[in-house]
Amino acid sequence: MLESYVTPILMSYVNRYIKNLKPSDLQLSLWGGDVVLSKLELKLDVLEQELKLPFTFLSGHIHELRIHVPWTKLGSEPVVITINTMECILKLKDGMQDDHESCGSNSTNCSTAENTKSSVKPRRIQQVAPTDPDLPPGYVQSLIRRVVNNVNIVINNLILKYVEDDIVLSVNITSAECYTVSELWDRAFMDISATDLVLRKVINFSDCTVCLDKRNASGKIEFYQDPLLYKCSFRTRLHFTYDNLNSKMPAVIKIHTLVESLKLSITDQQLPMFIRIMQLGIALYYGEIGNVKDGETEDSTCHNKDMLGNITGVEDETIIDMPYSAQYKGQELYSQQEDEQPQGWVSWAWSFVPAIVNYDDGEEDYLGNDPMSTMHQQKSQTLKDPIVSIGFYCTKATVTFKLTEMQAESSYYSPQKVTSKEVLCWEQEGTTVEALMMGEPFFDCQIGFVGCRAMCLKGIMGVKDFEETMNRSETEACFFICGENLSMKGFTYLTNSLFDYRSPENNGTRAEFILDAAHHKETYTEIAGMQRFGAFYMDYLYTVENNSGRGSANQQDFPLGKSEDLGIVEEKSTKTLVIGPLDFRLDSSAVHRILKMIVCALEHEYEPYSRLKPDIKDEKEIILNLEEVASLEDYIPTRHTSITLLKCTCTIFMAEFNLLDHLLPVIMGEKSSSNFMNTTNFQSLRPLPSVRILVDKINLEHSVPMYAERLVHTVSSLTQPSDDLLHYCYAHCYLKIFGFQAGLTSLDCRGSYCLPVPIVPSFSTALYGKLLKLPTCWTKRSQIAVTEGIFELPNLTIQATRAQTLLLQAIYQSWSHIGNISSSAVNEALMNEVFQTVGVKSKNPLPTLEGSIQNVELKYCSTSLVKCASGTVGSIKICAKAPGDSGKEKLIPLLQGPSDTKDLHSSKWLNEIRKPESLLAPDLIAFTVQVPQHMDYCHNSGAVLLCGVQGLAVNIDPVLYTWLIYQPQKRTSRHMQQQPVVAGTLVMPPSRRREDEASVGSAPLAKQQSCQASEYASSPIKTKTVTESRPLSAPMKAMLSVTEGRRSPEERMKEFVGAVWNAVKRLTLQLEVQSCCVFIPNDSLPSPSTIVSGDIPGTVRSWYHGQTSMPGTLVLCLPQIKIMSAGHKYMEPLQEIPFVIPRPILEEGDAFPWTISLHHFSIYTLFGKQVTLCLVDPMGCTSTLAVTSQKLLTTAPDARHSFVVCLHVDLESLEIKCSNPQLFIGLSLPIPWKTSSP
């Protein structure tokens, strides 16, 4: 009879998870064809044991269970299992003390736990299958397989709840149905055959609703929030590929889910709870929850065996362990405590594979087969892990952020209700999440989406900027755009999925998977990822490989034998993130909404799931022999992350309203100011100036050792660790920016931008930094660098007119002057001057200042004893571009460094041959500074400053005055007025009023009426009015703070002198500054085209010899300066840091006396026709500065010093000559105080 074979299998599944069932009653009901069971309790301990998650079930019950078995058509109709109303409530285990109870704290507990685990396994119903000559075993096995493969499961009203702290997360699915389908994914009665070794299933989920609410201390929910997800339906396709008919485990498993529309809603009260749930998922992934506790090495072995047993489907049998080479022995030493890889997560997910494919280790017993042969067959089949592909696909997803407020009903006794208002919306198209794994040694996850955008909705903080009555366009509301449109991109996000009609599974062929790390990286490149998605692409790859180069090494594929036969096992983890072309618009509406979300996320703080362990060195020293150290150096596992941004555009608009004083204090950790919700009208400002930043590419790379704690403990215990081992004890970070440029643009009332005005031409830069892991383990090695950073800037150029800088200043002030209620708009003349009409020439074009800095290299380093920095600046040049007489632009050099100024103190250089500036000229600035970390270390080594500055040439041209004194006309545009956002004004201080009048005005910044109290509270004059109802101590403290703030200039000077003395009393100083030559002509000196552009002395010399009408020029040659502290010998200014000076200063004051030398100071004048007149002949001086200090005897806590200063000066002869032409030049110079403003 078929009943005798099918009934035990169905009864075993039911009896496994349901309490208090009578097998006899269940058996009789099954033979009748229909079973109806009501009010069933689930076996919670069995669920916890099989899930292996750090959760405990508070309750679990089934309202009704129906089983329909069509005995007469068992080979053509499916068995239907229907569950009506299933509810389970979970919570996190208390204190995580039960994380590994199955293993215990020693081997004895481990074995006990294994016995306990075997005891909770489902009790098999002792029933011997009768022998029936009409039903051969092969037929029975085939029929049982057909029945199991076609079981339909229907769940109506599935309720899952998770509670933690004040969080209640509930998932309600109205209907879920799983059934078998055909090749076209239509419902059918199917089975695997020799020609088609494939089984397909579909799971349909209808009306899935997810709620996230907050409960009070008594566990009740006072106010229900809007659902996170409301009535969302999705479908899942399952595809199983077998190697042969006798395979118990599929060779390939594909589980793909598609959601057409996903609409999420998050309120401000739900946001902290939602972030908490996300943190829970991350903690589960990285094993921060449910990991082995410290010191439980025996438990680790037990847990690993239990984990591997679940992967292979074998329990209580001999487990094949992965052998390790001598190289990996060192990795084992520090790989047990930090399980930061996805091993725990993958193992947990892997344990569900038998359950997914309806596999049970006891089915063969019911068929009467030989247990030994079954075990042998099972082992041989599970030695090879199946390939599992899990995918989630969403056509369109929307996340809406809402702000809630309490609103009472009309009746006094009516309860309050929570109303919400949408303020922010995130839309995303073509989302893909795919995971591919084969055993634990290979795991790959890819995430991507085609396009996304963020939009502003309704109003924010009382400002109705996007209400429906505003009639603002969708383009204005959208402040973030990335990627492409799904209608233009196509359905590339479904490539090779079960929902792609072009996939191999939908065309009758077997899919091929890339399971080799090298081949994977060659195939899934950044270009390939962006071609498929376009907006965002992430690839996370984790592999364990051997050095034979065979690819991924599976644990079950390793042969048994000595570890030397295996070779070096390489564990790798790489993350690659690519973000496609994006456009980010930061206006007032977007900034306030983003910061409001951050404030809401910070409103509630939860205890972290994993606390950082104190950096205490392990008492058990790890001792490695030379062979183990050498093998450890061959390969150390690291985790590498790469983030790339392509074609990034960021536009920062002038603030139309500014309420940041209510948001920034909360983000900075301070208390928030008083609440306010006065609704105000809003009118956009057009044209709206902005700063646009374009970046071609940003690349960030980060690498960190996988098992940092064990690695550092191992390497720090070595006597002389190699540089390679020390390199891997750091976390490294590389930042590279390519094609960074910035400019000014403006948004008009039609929503279009004017042509951008370049301010910063394209340049590239790089930054490198590294941080020592567990620095407390290196306290005995003071020379080891704790942090180190290197900055490189090949070239940076900034160019702007005075009008452009005033507009930049206005944009900055609109964001920085919080609380300013000025309603003045940007000057129309200023806007017209900055954004000139194409093809229209300006009547009075403004000069442009252009400054460039080249070859900047800075380095920072800190050890446990000192902090030091060094660097070089190659050159600095500043020039002005002004309109010429013939319409051509003339170039006027203003600053040049380095410049050869050694001979410029005398006018003889004008008549000598001057060599052009060489490209191999020394750097303009070279410096090294080193200061002690702690004051107690000052007795061993003081601070050191070494600095060298090459010569500078400065040309104070009249065009510079023209650039500085520019002021736009006091005339505003009719189209640029904005309605004030407040009713009422405050009296502005005269200084602020003058500042606003002088600056072109800033954008109107909103200030709510109810905020005036806080404005007055910060003023000493209004303190009495505001604090009348407060205790008397409050105003007294305010008055005391005011009096303390009004210190006399003498007190401030004493504090300044004390600070300077503390800085220089143990300072080893070496300063060498070459001469700086300043040229002050009474007319412009454009650079001729015959000389190198920007060479100021060459320009002056060319005008001196070649031009008949050379303007009168005053030449001021500043002296060459050299300062050396006592006993110090000259060193190169640029040193490798950290460094040790030959003679450190041990006592305070030993750095003195300082030797100060000044040479080659002179002043002379140049006239036309090669006339030179000297005003001050070259001169210099040598001086000695000595300072001694003694503490004053005083009872004050801040004891001060008395100083004795001795200055000895040897001055060379001073000769001053003056003539009428020189006086005339002095009077004709266009100095600022003589020039009247227009």
Per-residue CA distances from 1092 to 900, 919, 1206 (Å): 14, 12, 48
Q: In the predicted model, what is the mean pLDDT of residues 736-759?
A: 92
Per-residue CA distances from 595 to 314, 461, 663 (Å): 53, 11, 7
Q: Which two tokens stand for residue 793?
A: 């800037």
Query: What's at 939, amino acid-wise?
Result: H
Q: Dump the DSSP string for 503-519.
A: SGGGGT--------HHH
Q: What is the pLDDT, as a whole number, of residue 527?
A: 93
Query: What's at 965, amino acid-wise?
Result: I
Residue 88 clears pLDDT 90, i.e. is over it: yes
Q: In the predicted model, what is the mean pLDDT of residues 442-448?
A: 95
Q: What is the pLDDT, as a whole number, of residue 13?
A: 75
Q: In the predicted model, what is the mean pLDDT of residues 262-270?
A: 93
Residue 924 clears pLDDT 80, i.e. is over it: yes
Q: What is the pLDDT, as a whole number, of residue 1148?
A: 65
Q: In the predicted model, what is the mean pLDDT of residues 128-148?
A: 64
Residue 86 clears pLDDT 90, i.e. is over it: yes
Q: What is the pLDDT, as a whole number, of residue 394?
A: 95
- Tell me which H or E stretch contains 140: helix 137-149
Between 289-303, 988-1002, 1007-1021, 1171-1185, the lowest mean confidence (pLDDT) is in 1007-1021
Question: 320: closest CA among 329, 311, 328?
Answer: 311
Residue 9 clears pLDDT 90, i.e. is over it: no
Between 413-417, 479-483, 1032-1036, the lowest mean confidence (pLDDT) is in 1032-1036
CA atoms of 150 and 75, how far apart (whole Å): 10
Is 866 buried (19+), middle (13-18) or exposed (0-12) by CB count in 10 A? buried
Question: Which distant-in-sequence residues (6+ apart) come within 8 Å of 535 by Cβ?
Answer: 448, 449, 450, 451, 452, 482, 483, 484, 579, 580, 582
Q: Tokens 């708009």 belong to which residue?
A: 825
Q: In the predicted model, what is the mean pLDDT of residues 73-78?
A: 86
Residue 313 clears pLDDT 50, i.e. is over it: no
Residue 897 clears pLDDT 60, i.e. is over it: yes
Q: pLDDT (tens digit, 9 = 90+) per residue, 568-588? A: 678 899 999 999 999 999 999
Q: pLDDT (tens digit, 9 = 90+) per residue, 39-64? A: 889 988 888 888 777 788 999 999 99
Q: What is the pLDDT, as a whole number, of residue 308?
A: 29
Q: Which two tokens stand for residue 1077?
A: 């030559």
753 within 8 A of 745, measured Cβ to Cβ? yes
1183 within 8 A of 1153, measured Cβ to Cβ? no
Q: In the predicted model, what is the mean pLDDT of residues 378-396?
A: 78
Q: In the predicted model, what is the mean pLDDT of residues 798-812?
A: 93
Is 767 buried (19+), middle (13-18) or exposed (0-12) by CB count in 10 A? middle
Q: What is the pLDDT, as a whole number, of residue 92?
A: 86
Q: What is the pLDDT, as a whole number, of residue 531?
A: 93
650 within 8 A of 480, measured Cβ to Cβ? no
CA atoms of 1194 and 404, how far apart (whole Å): 60
Q: What is the pLDDT, as a whole number, of residue 221?
A: 87
- N residues, the chain: 1238
Q: pLDDT (tens digit, 9 = 90+) per residue, 851-879? A: 999 999 999 999 988 899 999 999 999 99
Q: Indicate the SS3 state at residue 1235.
A: coil
Between 174 and 1004, name the one with better pLDDT: 174
Q: Which two tokens stand for residue 672?
A: 């928030």
Query: What's at 1044, amino acid-wise?
Result: E
Between 136 and 514, name the one with better pLDDT: 514
Between 1121 and 35, name the one with better pLDDT: 1121
CA atoms of 797 and 881, how far apart (whole Å): 14
Q: pLDDT (tens digit, 9 = 90+) per residue, 968-1014? A: 876 544 344 443 443 333 333 444 343 443 333 333 333 333 333 33
Q: In the predicted model, what is the mean pLDDT of residues 540-563?
A: 56
Question: Which distant-in-sequence residues (6+ apart) come within 8 Å of 1234 by Cβ?
Answer: none
Q: Indicate the SS3 state at residue 1117.
A: strand
Residue 383 clears pLDDT 60, i.e. is over it: no
Q: What is the pLDDT, as a whole number, of residue 414?
A: 58
- Whether omega before 342 lies within 30 degrees of 0, making that bond cis, reads no
Q: In the predicted model, what is the mean pLDDT of residues 151-167?
A: 93
Q: Looking only at Cα atoms, what is the longest distance across the chain?
A: 136
Q: What is the pLDDT, as a whole number, of residue 337?
A: 37
Instruction: Please give the share of the chain, as a percent, with pLDDT higher than 90.
Output: 35
CA atoms of 916 and 1091, how far apart (whole Å): 8
Most confident residue range from 168-177, 998-1007, 1019-1028: 168-177
CA atoms of 280 and 289, how far apart (whole Å): 8
Residue 74: pLDDT band with limits 50, 70, 90: confident
Residue 130 clears pLDDT 50, i.e. is over it: no
Question: 657: closest CA among 982, 995, 425, 404?
Answer: 982
Residue 929 clears pLDDT 50, i.e. is over it: yes
Q: In the predicted model, what is the mean pLDDT of residues 1144-1169?
A: 82
- Tell me which H or E stretch contains 253: strand 252-267
Q: What is the pLDDT, as a whole number, of residue 918?
A: 60
Between 527-536, 871-880, 1215-1224, the lowest mean confidence (pLDDT) is in 1215-1224
Q: What is the pLDDT, as a whole number, of residue 289?
A: 72
Q: In the predicted model, what is the mean pLDDT of residues 1184-1198?
A: 68
Most confident residue range from 85-99, 286-300, 390-404, 1176-1190: 390-404
Residue 961 clears pLDDT 70, i.e. is over it: yes
Per-residue CA distances from 1163 to 317, 512, 861, 992, 1212 (Å): 97, 83, 43, 41, 15
Q: pLDDT (tens digit, 9 = 90+) per residue, 647-692? A: 999 999 999 888 888 888 888 877 655 455 555 667 778 889 999 9
Between 256-260, 470-474, 1175-1179, the lowest mean confidence (pLDDT) is in 470-474
Residue 114 clears pLDDT 70, i.e. is over it: no
Q: Provide the 10 A C-beta neighbour count for residue 1106.
A: 10
Residue 1149 clears pLDDT 70, i.e. is over it: no
